[in-house]
């Protein structure tokens, strides 16, 4: 059931997976057609979901590592986020494609045009057709959950929360009408925000994800109708806007090969900088200090072109400017290094890099 996660790493793998899955449904030529039309958008959408995941978690202990996604052994807060952001990404991309006229059978959502929206405005213009994106995303992404256990229910719930996030972050845009722009009436439409907004919104939801307790008695009950019913009922008591998880997260400080987790040793963190937010400023503490690691300062020289001058005619001559940048990394305390990589060899690497 975790094959959903495959396509974030390799769109090609995803397509192969889909082909196999849907080969069973080929009886329905309607579905096959849909598959051929939308598969590239679905893959692109899933990829944008995983890129957003990496951005949102860049300075967290868990930073959306691909191997962990692939193994998919966990049912944690992070699994919840991954499902939500990828199903949101798929819906988002399909909706955008639709607005750009990439599909013959789909265009703006003008169903409400001409209706009164509120005081002083009515619906008009070209609203992004999220209904379309939602339906196709559901068809593709939810189809990957073939199980009927609590994990499948969790994944489906979070897929839905991701789609709700796209809807919930849409923005009303208006245009004024009236004598010489007096704006006595306006027409408004709904448009997709930047995908970053959806990511920010889901990251908030991630921090407040709710834990679902499935009564133990049911765990061993297999696929009986009674147990399926109880699972469905348990999940339906949670708002479909919220992310849910079944397990708590493991200690992301530590490497765990079974779970495909790299641990925080060797990670870069941020310390000083003009534009750092609170979360980034605390990253060395979070990734190194609180994980029992030390922070190592490494300096590297950046060489770039600068003070360029234009010479008549026609050449541009530049100087080479050198700038020392300081970077911070989490390392084992006391200079011992777990992977038996000495400080010396690392410094040498840095020195080599700056020469070339």
Determine if 159 is a binding residue for ligand NAG (CB under 6 A): no
User: Given the complex with ligand NAG, which of 40 and 113 has the nearer CB atom?
Assistant: 40
User: How distant, in Å, are the alpha carbons of 111, 122, 165, 219 from that of 168?
Assistant: 19, 20, 5, 34
Number of C-alpha atoms within 13 angstroms, CB side, residue 50?
20
| Pairwise CA distance, residues 38 & 40, whole Å | 6
Determine if 15 is a binding residue for ligand NAG (CB under 6 A): no
Tokens of 249: 């997260």
- Residues 6 or more apart whose CB falls under 8 angstroms from that of 128 comprise 95, 96, 98, 99, 108, 109, 170, 190, 191, 192
**Contacts with ligand NAG: how many residues (CB under 6 A)?**
12
| Pairwise CA distance, residues 45 & 173, whole Å | 24
Determine if 250 is a binding residue for ligand NAG (CB under 6 A): yes
Within residues 85-104, the interface with ligand NAG by CB under 6 A covers 93, 97, 102
- Residues 6 or more apart whose CB falls under 8 angstroms from that of 109 comprise 126, 127, 128, 129, 130, 131, 132, 190
Query: x/- site string to ligand NAG, residues 101 to 130, per CB under 6 A?
Result: -x----------------------------
Query: x/- site string to ligand NAG, residues 34 to 53, per CB under 6 A?
Result: ------xx--x---------
User: Given the complex with ligand NAG, which of 54 and 257 has the nearer CB atom?
Assistant: 257
User: Given the complex with ligand NAG, which of 3 and 256 has the nearer CB atom?
Assistant: 256
| Pairwise CA distance, residues 13 & 16, whole Å | 5
Determine if 258 is a binding residue for ligand NAG (CB under 6 A): yes
Q: Write down the least CB distance from residue 269 to ligand NAG, Å.
A: 22
Which listed range, 174-182, 252-260, 278-286, 308-316, lies at the site for ligand NAG (CB under 6 A)? 252-260
Among 312, 340, 344, 355, binds ligand NAG (CB under 6 A): 340
User: How distant, in Å, are the alpha carbons of 99, 172, 190 from that of 117?
Assistant: 22, 11, 11
| Pairwise CA distance, residues 156 & 249, whole Å | 19
User: Given the complex with ligand NAG, which of 98 and 270 has the nearer CB atom?
Assistant: 98
User: Given the complex with ligand NAG, which of 93 and 127 has the nearer CB atom?
Assistant: 93
| Pairwise CA distance, residues 209 & 350, whole Å | 41
Determine if 259 is a binding residue for ligand NAG (CB under 6 A): yes
Q: Write down the least CB distance from residue 77 to ligand NAG, Å.
A: 14
Tokens of 237: 């008591």
| Pairwise CA distance, residues 334 & 328, whole Å | 16
Name the residue number minimizing CB distance to ligand NAG.
Answer: 102
Among 254, 295, 300, 350, binds ligand NAG (CB under 6 A): 254
**Residue 78 — φ and ψ, nearest 5°?**
-70, -40
Which listed range, 26-34, 227-235, 255-263, 266-274, lies at the site for ligand NAG (CB under 6 A)? 255-263
Q: Write down the least CB distance from residue 232 to ligand NAG, Å.
A: 27
Which listed range, 22-30, 161-169, 250-258, 276-284, lies at the site for ligand NAG (CB under 6 A)? 250-258
Determine if 234 is a binding residue for ligand NAG (CB under 6 A): no
| Pairwise CA distance, residues 328 & 340, whole Å | 19
Q: Write down the least CB distance from residue 192 to ligand NAG, Å.
A: 12
User: Helix, strand or coil for residue 95?
Assistant: helix
Determine if 262 is a binding residue for ligand NAG (CB under 6 A): no
Q: Which residues contact ligand NAG (rule: CB under 6 A)?
A: 40-41, 44, 93, 97, 102, 250, 254, 256, 258-259, 340
């Amino acid at each position: 059931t975790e094959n959903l996660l495959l396509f974030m790493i390799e769109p090609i793998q995803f397509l192969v997976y889909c082909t196999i899955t849907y080969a069973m449904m080929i009886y329905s030529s309607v579905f096959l057609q849909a598959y051929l039309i939308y598969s590239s958008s679905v893959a692109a959408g899933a990829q944008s979901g995983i890129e957003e995941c990496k951005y949102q978690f860049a300075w967290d202990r868990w930073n959306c590592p691909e191997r962990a996604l692939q193994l998919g052994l966990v049912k944690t807060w992070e699994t919840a986020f991954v499902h939500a952001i990828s199903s949101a990404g798929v819906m988002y991309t399909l909706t955008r494609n639709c607005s750009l006229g990439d599909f013959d059978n789909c265009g703006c959502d003008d169903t409400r045009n001409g209706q009164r929206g509120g005081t002083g405005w009515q619906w008009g213009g070209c609203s992004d057709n999220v209904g379309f994106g939602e339906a196709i995303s559901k068809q593709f992404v939810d189809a990957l959950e073939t199980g009927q256990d609590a994990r499948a229910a969790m994944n489906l719930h979070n897929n839905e929360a991701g789609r709700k996030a796209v809807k919930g972050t849409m923005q009303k845009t208006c245009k004024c009408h009236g004598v010489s722009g007096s704006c006595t009436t306006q027409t408004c439409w709904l448009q997709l925000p930047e995908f970053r907004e959806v990511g920010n919104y889901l990251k908030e939801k991630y921090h407040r994800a709710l834990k679902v307790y499935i009564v133990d008695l049911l765990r061993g009950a297999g696929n009986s109708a009674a147990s399926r019913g109880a699972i469905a009922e348990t999940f339906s008591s949670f708002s479909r806007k919220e992310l849910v998880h079944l397990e708590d997260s493991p200690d992301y400080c530590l490497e765990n090969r079974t779970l495909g987790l790299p641990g925080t040793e060797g990670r870069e963190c941020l310390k000083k900088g003009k534009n750092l937010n609170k979360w980034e400023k605390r990253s060395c503490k979070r990734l190194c200090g609180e994980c029992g690691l030390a922070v190592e300062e490494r300096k590297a020289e950046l060489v770039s072109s600068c003070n360029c001058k234009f010479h008549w005619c026609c050449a541009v001559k530049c100087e080479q400017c050198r700038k020392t940048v300081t970077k911070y990394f989490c390392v084992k305390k006391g200079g011992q290094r777990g992977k038996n990589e000495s400080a010396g060899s690392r410094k040498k690497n840095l020195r080599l890099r700056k020469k070339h």
